């Protein structure tokens, strides 16, 4: 029987339990409002390595090992590891996970990686292809600035629309029926191109995709916004949030009082100089794995729609005048 | 019921039919031994665009549209498009497919993209999450040389171990039970790091992963090599093939008379100066979509193990002294 609802949504036959999550972040995240929720705050942004790229891989490796340990499973016993990051050729994930000895599925959805990974992981388990899957995402402020914008040493001024890439990695171990927070289904996003060409305004580039996926999810399932305690986007930030709420309203839904954005929650913009908010694959990753997962385990939240968002571009595509399509993948997570 | 065999393999409940394939290649591929099998040979490597990157996207767009048309399905009616390429942040696929209006899952497995995509596409259909999926891979000699090695204008001499990135894109439309060539299962590869640090010797970097996945597949399923008419790797080339055969033999299997490599088949090394062979995501993609799919439809081949191979690295990782892990994803394709 096809588990499909409408154009973009699947709902699983059985809840796919979340066995454990792990969140490992850098020093700036550890000074932010969610510090108490992270598993490990690493004081050294180089994480004892000799480059930012190697540091990002160390964050990924640490998060994967921690999630496996919490799930009481050797990392090589997971049937799939699904991982993605922002670095060219996904080297953050690859060099962090090359020693796991587990079947590996690399993904690329820019900062929507945790949404794409949890969607695929849930489907592989619900489809009978696996019992235990690790989904992982990582990003690093310094490796991202170097690759996408300017070398840090250049001391470029950041425009107010720019976001701050989260340093860290999150891993979510899916499997079993734990009775707690579980993945119930997903709505896979289409690429939505709003014509934004400013690589320093990712919130605007992604807002259309987030709105499209959220509205598709509600339409596909016939659910009202009341179904969810919170609708949580990945890294739209302050500018993207405003656009999202307006775009969703135009389609007939009001999510003003349901919406939270991980990029807004993770930093204190007044004291941390993070401008439009946090971003990066780790932004939605660690905010879910640390903060929201905890709130669900305590029963403070019971039904969330988790919608990591990604801006699809490279420095080359921007230099060649391409606009920046967005994508957003929604994951239904409920206390089962 | 878990559809899992051994550590890395799944076999589907029902064959996942291949509705159609499309192969669109550049001029050099059109002068090679497989020319007659490709759907479209584009004489202009720029494909009418203004950059190599945009050309690569045009190849991807053309292949996707052609596969959809052959499958008699509007491209927006596919429930997932799964695509990957070699460009930074996967822009080959992204800008080629941004107007498809279909749920999009980006993957990164370097040149193993078609193997990873067909594995995931098969699982999403067999798992009841979709009825029709397009799997796509693309690469372009010029965009790859520019990004990974030297600008073409530099006129760098190519070492004999180097391979020639295939220009083109392949799309495979999965769905339905056509009775013809069908995906029956897959063996998802682990990363295997042989310690190779020479970015001009991808065959050596990937041979260990190909051997690991092929042996895992045979062990997991209990099949002998006789089960398959051919075991087809992606882009090991001449050097990688020699290593593969030796590594597999060390594990107790002899695939000498079963093995074909797409990178060896696609070019004539004597007349085309392609050194160690063809490579790139499109290498295994178009060779399967054009040549092997045709041979299966004619009944000249009935059971193949299709094993696209990838070398996981970036220029940055190589510059920082990292070795190059390989990965290989095996797809079981049989006339059902």
Whether residues A124 and B128 touch (CB distance < 8 A) is answered with no
The CA distance from A104 to A129, in Å, is 14
Q: What is the pLDDT of residues A202-220, one digit of tens each?
A: 999 999 999 999 999 999 9
Q: How many helices (H) and strands (E) does chain B have?
A: 12, 16
* Angle separating helix axes A113-126 and B113-126, nearest 10 degrees: 50
* Residue B175, SS3 per DSSP: strand
DSSP letter string, A139-189: E-HHHHHHHHS--GGG-PPPPTT--EEPPEEEEEEEES--SSEEEEEEEPP
Residue among B14, B89, B33 at smallest CA distance from B56: B89
The CA distance from B175 to B70, in Å, is 13
Q: What is the pLDDT of residues A58-79, one digit of tens each?
A: 999 999 999 999 999 999 999 9
The H or E element containing residue B62 is helix B52-70
Q: Minimal Cα–Cα distance from A270 to chain B, Å?
A: 32
User: pLDDT-derived band of residue B196, with 50, 70 and 90 as boundaries?
Assistant: very high
Whether residues A104 and B188 touch (CB distance < 8 A) is answered with yes
Please give the pLDDT value at position B180: 95
Please give the pLDDT value at position A228: 98
Of residues B3, B104, B120, nearest to A120 (C-beta): B120
A302 φ, ψ (degrees, to nearest 5): -120, -25
Tracing tokens 């040149």 back to the chain, one arrives at B111
Please give the pLDDT value at position B10: 98
Whether residues B53 and A316 touch (CB distance < 8 A) is answered with yes
The CA distance from A149 to A151, in Å, is 7
Tracing tokens 């640490």 back to the chain, one arrives at A62
- End-to-end, the C-alpha distance of chain B in Å comes to 22
Whether residues A109 and B109 touch (CB distance < 8 A) is answered with no
User: pLDDT-derived band of residue A88, with 50, 70 and 90 as boundaries?
Assistant: very high
Please give the pLDDT value at position B287: 98
Whether residues A3 and B79 touch (CB distance < 8 A) is answered with no
How is residue A52 written in tokens?
A: 């930012």
Share the mean pLDDT of chain A.
Answer: 97
Of residues B128, B312, B320, nearest to A53 (C-beta): B320
Residue among A169, A172, A211, A167 at smallest CA distance from A192: A211
Whether residues A2 and B128 touch (CB distance < 8 A) is answered with yes
Determine the average pLDDT of the residues in B73-102.
98
Please give the pLDDT value at position A148: 95
B226 φ, ψ (degrees, to nearest 5): -65, -20
Whether residues B320 and A129 touch (CB distance < 8 A) is answered with no
CA B163 from centroid of its chain's CA atoms: 15
Q: Are B38 and B29 in contact (CB under 8 A)?
A: yes
From chain B, pick out residues whose CB is under 8 angstroms from the CB of A321. none
**In chain B, where the domains are located:** 16-175, 181-280+300-335
The CA distance from B113 to A112, in Å, is 19
Q: Residue A186 forms beta bridges with which residues?
A: A10, A331
CATH of domain A181-280+300-335: 3.40.47.40
Q: What is the pLDDT of residues B131-156, one digit of tens each?
A: 999 999 999 999 999 999 988 999 88
Whether residues B106 and A106 touch (CB distance < 8 A) is answered with no
The CA distance from A202 to A14, in Å, is 36
DSSP letter string, A309-321: EEE---HHHHHTT
Burial class of residue B252 in the structure, from the number of CB atoms within 10 Å of its CB (0-12 exposed, 13-18 middle, 19+ buried): exposed
Whether residues A94 and B312 touch (CB distance < 8 A) is answered with yes
Q: What is the pLDDT of residues B274-311, one digit of tens each?
A: 999 999 999 999 999 999 999 999 999 999 999 999 99
Half-sphere exposure of B66 (CA within 13 A, CB side): 22
Of residues B87, B102, B131, nearest to A190 (C-beta): B102
Residue A271 has pLDDT above 80, yes or no: yes
From chain B, pick out residues whose CB is under 8 angstroms from the CB of A120. 105, 120
Whether residues B188 and A80 touch (CB distance < 8 A) is answered with yes
Give ipTM to 2 decimals. 0.98
Q: Are B61 and B83 in contact (CB under 8 A)?
A: no
Q: Are strands A9-25 and A168-175 parallel, antiparallel or unpaired?
A: antiparallel
Query: What CA–CA distances, in Å, run from A317 to A198, A199, A311, A329, B95?
Result: 12, 10, 12, 22, 9
Whether residues A100 and B191 touch (CB distance < 8 A) is answered with yes
CATH of domain B16-175: 3.40.47.40
Whether residues A98 and B191 touch (CB distance < 8 A) is answered with yes
Which residue of chain A is at minimal alpha-carbon distance from B7? A79
Please give the pLDDT value at position A75: 98
From chain B, pick out residues whose CB is under 8 angstroms from the CB of A86. 89
Q: Are A308 and A234 in contact (CB under 8 A)?
A: yes
From chain A, pick out residues whose CB is under 8 angstroms from the CB of B53. 316-317, 320
CB atoms within 10 A of CB A14: 11
The CA distance from A242 to A236, in Å, is 9
Residue B322 has pLDDT above 80, yes or no: yes
Alpha helices, DSSP H, located in chain A: 27-30, 52-70, 91-97, 113-126, 141-148, 202-221, 237-250, 262-265, 269-272, 281-286, 293-297, 315-319
Tracing tokens 């409940």 back to the chain, one arrives at B13
The CA distance from B259 to A247, in Å, is 54
The CA distance from B142 to B332, in Å, is 32
From chain A, pick out residues whose CB is under 8 angstroms from the CB of B317. 53, 89, 91, 94-95
Please give the pLDDT value at position A322: 97
Q: Are B39 and B23 in contact (CB under 8 A)?
A: yes
Q: What is the pLDDT of residues B99-109, one digit of tens each?
A: 999 999 999 99
Same fold, B16-175 and B181-280+300-335: yes
Please give the pLDDT value at position A176: 77
Q: Minimal Cα–Cα distance from B80 to chain A, Å?
A: 8
B contact test, residue of A115, A120, A127 with most B CBs within 10 A:
A127
The CA distance from A230 to A179, in Å, is 20
Please give the pLDDT value at position B151: 87
The CA distance from A117 to B157, in Å, is 41
The CA distance from B64 to A159, in Å, is 38
The CA distance from B158 to B139, in Å, is 19
Residues whose CB is less than 8 angstroms from the CB of residue B242 and which lie 6 or more positions away in sequence, other chains included: none
Which residue of chain A is at minimal alpha-carbon distance from B84? A108
From chain B, pick out residues whose CB is under 8 angstroms from the CB of A128. 1-4, 127
Query: What CA–CA distances, in Å, run from A101 to A84, B119, B189, B212?
Result: 17, 19, 9, 11
DSSP letter string, B24-40: EE-HHHHTSTTGGG-SE
User: pLDDT-derived band of residue A195, with 50, 70 and 90 as boundaries?
Assistant: very high
Residue B220 has pLDDT above 80, yes or no: yes
Which residue of chain B is at minimal alpha-carbon distance from A326? B98
Half-sphere exposure of A155 (CA within 13 A, CB side): 0
Whether residues A95 and B3 touch (CB distance < 8 A) is answered with no
Which residue of chain B is at minimal alpha-carbon distance from A53? B317
- End-to-end, the C-alpha distance of chain A in Å comes to 22
User: pLDDT-derived band of residue B179, with 50, 70 and 90 as boundaries?
Assistant: confident
From chain B, pick out residues whose CB is under 8 angstroms from the CB of A190. 100-104
Please give the pLDDT value at position A201: 95
Residue A141 has pLDDT above 90, yes or no: yes
Whether residues B108 and A106 touch (CB distance < 8 A) is answered with yes
The H or E element containing residue B115 is helix B113-126
From chain A, pick out residues whose CB is under 8 angstroms from the CB of B79. 4, 7
User: pLDDT-derived band of residue B176, with 50, 70 and 90 as boundaries?
Assistant: confident
CB atoms within 10 A of CB A52: 24
Which residue of chain A is at minimal alpha-carbon distance from B128? A2
């Amino acid at each position: 029987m096809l588990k499909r609802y409408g154009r973009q949504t699947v709902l699983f036959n059985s809840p796919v339990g979340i066995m454990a999550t792990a969140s490992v972040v850098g020093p700036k995240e550890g000074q932010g409002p969610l510090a108490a929720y992270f598993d490990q705050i690493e004081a050294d942004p180089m994480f004892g390595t000799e480059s930012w790229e190697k540091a990002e891989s160390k964050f990924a490796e640490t998060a994967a090992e921690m999630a496996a340990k919490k799930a009481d499973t050797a990392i090589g016993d997971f049937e799939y590891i699904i991982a993605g990051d922002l670095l060219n050729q996904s080297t953050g994930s690859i060099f962090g996970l090359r020693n796991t000895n587990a079947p590996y599925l690399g993904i690329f959805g820019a900062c929507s990686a945790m949404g794409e990974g949890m969607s695929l992981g849930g489907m592989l388990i619900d489809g009978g292809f696996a019992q235990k899957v690790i989904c992982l995402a990582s990003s690093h402020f310094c490796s991202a600035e170097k690759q996408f914008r300017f070398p840090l040493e250049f001391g470029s001024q950041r425009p107010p629309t720019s976001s701050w890439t989260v340093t860290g990695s999150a891993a979510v171990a899916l499997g079993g029926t734990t009775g707690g927070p579980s993945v119930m289904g997903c709505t896979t996003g289409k690429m939505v191109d709003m014509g934004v060409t400013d690589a320093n305004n990712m919130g605007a580039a992604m807002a259309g995709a987030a709105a499209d996926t959220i509205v598709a999810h509600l339409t596909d399932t016939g659910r009202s916004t009341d179904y969810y305690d919170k609708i949580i986007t990945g890294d739209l930030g302050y500018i993207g949030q405003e656009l999202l709420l307006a775009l969703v309203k135009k389609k007939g839904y009001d999510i003003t009082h349901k919406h939270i954005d991980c990029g807004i929650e993770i930093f204190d913009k007044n004291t941390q100089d993070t401008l439009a908010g946090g971003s990066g694959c780790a932004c939605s990753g660690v905010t879910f794995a640390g903060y929201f997962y905890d709130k669900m385990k305590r029963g403070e939240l019971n039904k969330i729609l988790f919608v990591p968002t990604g801006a699809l571009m490279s420095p080359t595509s921007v230099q060649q005048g391409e606009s920046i399509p967005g994508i957003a993948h929604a994951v239904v997570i409920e206390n089962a």
